[in-house]
A and B are shown apart, each in its own frame.
Chain A
Amino acid sequence: MNDVQHNGEIPPVRSAQDLVHMEHVSRTYMQSGTPQPVLDRCTLSFAEGRVHVLLGRSGSGKSTLLNLLGGIDAADSGTITVAGRDITSMTESELTLYRRRDIGTVFQFFHLIPTLTVLENVTLPRELDGADLAASRQSALALLQRVGLDDKADSLPETLSGGEQQRVAIVRALAHDPLLVLADEPTGNLDGTTGETVLRLLLELTLDAGKTLIVATHSHDILPYADHVYEVGDGSVREISIDEVLQHEQELQRKTRRKQQELRRS
């Protein structure tokens, strides 16, 4: 069923470098009756083909930002353009199509459909689009092979380990050749070693395909691979250098040691 239609051709990207541009974007949630601004007139851009990392405490607005970019939440004000198209002015059906074709998402809790096999999960976005199944199956199997799960193609998700499920989710996010890959705490639910493998696969596959990746995380494992790092918090998003992050981390370590010593003395 193909109920959502593209409206015309994609206009040229506004800046050759920027895939995503946000301007004065605000999002406020009501929390027990009082408005809580999560993003407050944020303006920033994400360059194409790069790895962007969003850092911040939980509740800082990382997920909100990803949801706005992924078209699953709507900004209260401001504009977000992705590949030159203003997604804030899209209708619900245009947004659906945007999610289906242009976005690949990796969730913290994998979110595979329990009643579909691994292969079916991966080909679902293409199938929802009414694409040729045989072709999408081929490319999906090739990707599954790269993450070492081609032998599990016909298994149901519940028979897979957490790491395996997240590998399937990564393949699902990429199999339909999206413009933008969003990952929300992709390793947050995995143990250290597994998390590392998953992260490596995510980066490998995204970069090989030349995709833009935006990862929200509070783990620093990804920092070596990041092209841009942003700090999200107090309603704003600010780009920071890796040095700043490391300085910040050292400061935190010093503080912790001082506190420990104080506690021992008293």
Chain B
Amino acid sequence: MNRALLRSGLRYHRRHPLQAALLVLGVALGVAVVVGIDIANVSADRSFRSSTNSLTGAATHQIIGNAQGIPDSVFFRLRSEEGVRPSAPVIEGIVQTDREGGRTLRLLGIDPFSEAPFRSYVAEGVDFTVLQRLLTQPHTILLSADLAKDLQLNAGDTLALTRPPLRFAAVVAGILQPEEEFTRRSLGGMLVTDIASAQEMLGMQGYLSRIDLLLDGAATHDAPEIEAMLPAGLLLQRPESRSSAIMSMTDAFSLNLTALSLLALIVGMFLIYDTVSFSVVRRREQFGILRAIGASRKQIAAMVLTETAVLATVGSAAGLILGILLGYGALNMVSQTISDLYTTMTVTDVTVSAGSLAKGIFLGIGASLLAAMAPAREAMSSNPAGVMRRMGLEDRLQHILPALTMTGLGLLVLSSLLLLLPHKRVDLSFASVLLFLLGVSLLIPATLRIVMRRSLPLLRFLFGTIGAMAARSISRALSRTTVAIAALMIAVSVIVGVNTMIGSFRHTVVNWLSTTLGADVFVTIPFTGAGQNEGTDVALEQRILSHPDVSRTATARTLSLISDRYGMHQLVAVSDDIASERPYKWTRDGAENTWEALRNGAVLLSEPFAYRNGIPAEPGQSVSLHTDSGLRQFPVAGIYLDYSSDKGTVLIDDAVYRRYWSDRKISSVAAFLHPSANPDRVAEELRAQLGTEGLFVVQSNRGLRDAALDIFDRTFTITIALQLLAVIVAFTGVFSTLMALQLERSREIGTLRATGMSRSQMIRYILTETGVLGIWSGLLALPVGLIMALILIFVINLRSFGWTLQLHVQPVQLLEAFLVAVLAALLAGLYPAIRYGRVKPSEALRVE
């Protein structure tokens, strides 16, 4: 790169700081969104690993059981009788503290003497007297120095822990000082206690959560030998398969976020393209002189690209800082959603990885250079001294218009092909949305020209000569107006698309809730986070039945399971169907006979379960479940619509469940009331009757519905936030495009003012023009947004989560989106309009 040229280029930008600032802003916002989301995703991923993985320590295998865990006698037999070593018993569960607004922590119960090979930090981190205290005194805990600081605890202090219906005052026996970063991080959300205390505090007397094994060369047994020793119902698993099952669930979620964040970057590219091409158009004469005195085409192009790269670097750096801040906010939303839906996260540390930052810088500069490519070509083709045929950007655009239109159509075809191909890839589906948007954008210049020609008489009729002038000036500057319309159109169509998708989703869920939640009052154990299998005694059902207004009840036992075959899923055992009219996607024996089939040992699959595991809607299907008496096949009686979880659910009859599983607990009771009863009053009475300790959550039908919708809305908070950010980037782009469009016409405006155009006429002229652009963008955005909604609903949602949703379009939302487009365009025209109104004709006429 020639230094004199670069100096000249950078000085140009120093003289036009507003343009440079817009470019920097475009890059910064785009990079910030990408980096923010990446940080949130990476942090959530790391936090998730910290929350769960490190608990497994060095274990290569784990023995796991079903709902209740593993009887601790299994461990004693394995260790004392069979001599399996190294092996360690583990109990883990979620508890809630009364500090930091009821922070949830993971309680890990261990046997300090078997620990050393697995979690050395426990055995080595504290001295013997502390360990002794932990073993001999009940409810004593160890915690890391970091966590102790967070919770303001010292050795000897007490900490109230709740695990409904249990409540304990735990005493801090000692503080762990792990040296390793990863361990320190994992311990940030964890309390350690001994096995006996953990069993008591988690209500798991006689049971373990799992047994950790280290089956390497030095171990006493190998995997097949261990498997042979296990009683029916217990499984030997690798710890990775557990976490990867959970990861694969959160993958779709984070991919959706990444796609949205990339959208912000792409919209930012419009802004960059625009700023760079504006600066090129303004300097065309200068480039001509440079060419005349011997600058080569490559030198000119390199000049434009290098100055863009310099500004993009500044923008990317600013974007990184902004992105890190954004990451903090986004992580909270992401981890909240993961905790709500998939697994409880006890650690939420922001990890700013070098990878995220490098990605931001790379994408920021890369996208800028890509966006600057066309303007750089334009600069390159500047004729020496500008004396030869002046084939400007506009002429060239006219020239390549057919090719552009054909490419646009080609992209649309390619996009449809990508959608129609039978695959489950969500990334390809997003790519097709992108191609679709790009294709539509390429069709804008051709359609805009036709529309402007057609609407010229109307504009003339409405606004006189000024209207006709506005229409022609849009057609004359197609290369710039197209970009403005495309940016605005994409922004507004994203609003339409995402809002329609969320609206349809919500509408579907509301409908589904009203048909599925047929009971009047629901009693459940408090939610301590997804993935928890706590239950309560069946006696609860009798207590509820004893209320005079309750006519009948149904119970449900909900288990969160992870299996090699089906990944993360739920097993729900129900004593009766509580749905007033359960919506089925398919039934084997007809809807009316389905419940009978369940009683005879068949199961129902939720739609996401069937989709995820590729189980077709046809007779003869079955699923294999790990029962307490070993692996068993259950025939499938039907597939039902279910929006409560994308993990996938297997619905089984309660009696069948109790036959094959030794679990006796229930998770919730649904009560049907006599027609005359008032659900809210009954709920109130049951609440009083069942205790004030917060052991149970009693909700009326409406209350439960509201709670479900709360979680739904929380899940989409980040989507809406991201969409807003993309829209902000787009509007910045539109603003700058429209402003640049007007500002570069100062000569024309000067002539008009000199010829006698008044200030108000000038304002009307500019606002007519930008208003028409806004109207056209808005009109275009509606169908494009609706098509995007269709793709999101019927392809991406299905492929990400396996849900069939009903399209639900809200006309008011469409109208709002349209008005947003027009308003944004008018606002963008306002500044130049006012500015030119003030400028004296002689000044505007002066050559810049």
Contacts and interface: CB of A to CB of B under 8 A. Distances in A.
Interface string A84-118: 00000000110011011101010100010111100
A125 B293 contact: yes
Interface string B273-298: 00000000000011001111111111
A61 interface: no
B7 interface: yes
B403 interface: no
Contacts of B384: 67, 70-73, 99
B294 A101 contact: yes
B4 A120 contact: yes
Contacts of B298: 1, 3
B3 interface: yes
Contacts of A67: 384-385, 387-388
B477 to A, nearest CB: 23
Contacts of B8: 113, 115-116, 120
B12 interface: yes
A96 B286 contact: no
Given A1-B298, A1-B299, A127-B3, A105 B293 contact: yes
A111 B4 contact: no
A72 B2 contact: no
Given A1-B2, A72-B384, A115-B12, A125 B294 contact: yes
A116 B1 contact: no
> Which of A67, A93, A111, A115: most chain B CB closer than 10 A?
A115
Nearest to B290: A113
A26 interface: no
B659 interface: no
A67 B1 CA distance: 28
Contacts of B291: 72, 96, 99
A136 B286 CA distance: 23
B15 interface: yes
B385 A72 contact: yes
B296 A111 contact: no
B778 to A, nearest CB: 39
A101 B295 CA distance: 11
Interface in B1-37: 1-5, 7-9, 11-12, 15
Given A63-B387, A127-B3, A127-B4, A114 B293 contact: no
B383 interface: yes
A123 interface: yes
A172 B385 CA distance: 15
A171 to B, nearest CB: 12
B302 interface: yes
A4 B292 contact: no
Contact of A128 (B9, B11, B295, B383): B295
> Size range of the interface on A?
20 to 34
Contacts of B293: 99-100, 105, 124-125, 128, 172
Given A1-B302, A128-B294, A128-B296, A72 B7 contact: no
A125 B298 CA distance: 15
Interface in A127-143: 127-129
B4 A92 contact: no
Interface residues of B, number: 30
A120 B299 contact: no
B253 to A, nearest CB: 48
Nearest to B15: A115
A93 B15 contact: no
A207 to B, nearest CB: 22
Contacts of A99: 291-294, 384
Interface string B505-516: 000000000000
A92 B297 contact: yes
Contacts of B385: 67, 72, 105, 107, 111
Given A73-B387, A115-B15, A128-B299, A97 B294 contact: yes
Contacts of B296: 1, 3-4, 93, 96-97, 100, 128
A3 B295 CA distance: 10
Nearest to A96: B296
> Which of B4, B12, B291, B297: most chain A CB closer than 10 A?
B4
Contacts of B387: 63, 67, 72-73
A125 B292 CA distance: 10
A129 B388 contact: no
A129 B3 contact: no
Interface in A1-30: 1, 3-4
B744 to A, nearest CB: 17
A174 to B, nearest CB: 12
A129 B294 CA distance: 8
Contacts of A71: 384
Contacts of A111: 285, 289, 292, 385
Contacts of A93: 296
Given A96-B294, A99-B294, A124 B4 contact: yes
Contacts of A1: 1-2, 296, 298-299, 302
B4 to A, nearest CB: 5
A156 B635 CA distance: 86
A247 to B, nearest CB: 33
A183 B298 CA distance: 27
A65 B409 CA distance: 46
A125 B387 CA distance: 20
Contact of A114 (B3, B286, B388): B286
Nearest to A102: B294
> Which of A1, A105, A129: most chain B CB closer than 10 A?
A1
Contacts of A63: 387
A172 B296 CA distance: 17
Contacts of B294: 96-97, 99-101, 103, 125, 128-129
A105 B12 CA distance: 24
A127 to B, nearest CB: 5
B718 to A, nearest CB: 45
A93 B291 CA distance: 11
A129 to B, nearest CB: 7
B290 A72 contact: no
Contact of A115 (B11, B292, B302, B388): B11
Nearest to B3: A127
Contacts of B15: 115
A81 to B, nearest CB: 20
B14 to A, nearest CB: 8
A4 B298 CA distance: 10
A70 to B, nearest CB: 7
> Which of A70, A111, A113, A114: most chain B CB closer than 10 A?
A113
A96 B301 CA distance: 14
A70 B7 CA distance: 26
Nearest to A124: B4
A23 B7 CA distance: 42
Given A107-B385, A115-B11, A96 B297 contact: yes
Contacts of A4: 296
A128 B7 CA distance: 13
A181 to B, nearest CB: 12
B125 to A, nearest CB: 61
A258 to B, nearest CB: 39
Contacts of B388: 67, 72-73
A104 to B, nearest CB: 8
B299 A116 contact: no
Contacts of A72: 291-292, 383-385, 387-388
Interface string B82-119: 00000000000000000000000000000000000000
Q: Closest 4 A-B residue pairs measured CB to CB?
A: A100-B294, A72-B384, A115-B11, A115-B8
9 contacts: A1-B296, A70-B384, A73-B387, A96-B291, A96-B294, A107-B385, A124-B4, A127-B4, A129-B294
Interface of A: 1, 3-4, 63, 67, 70-73, 92-93, 96-97, 99-101, 103, 105, 107, 111, 113-116, 120, 123-125, 127-129, 172
Given A72-B387, A111-B289, A115-B15, 7 more contacts: A3-B298, A93-B296, A105-B293, A113-B290, A124-B290, A128-B4, A128-B296
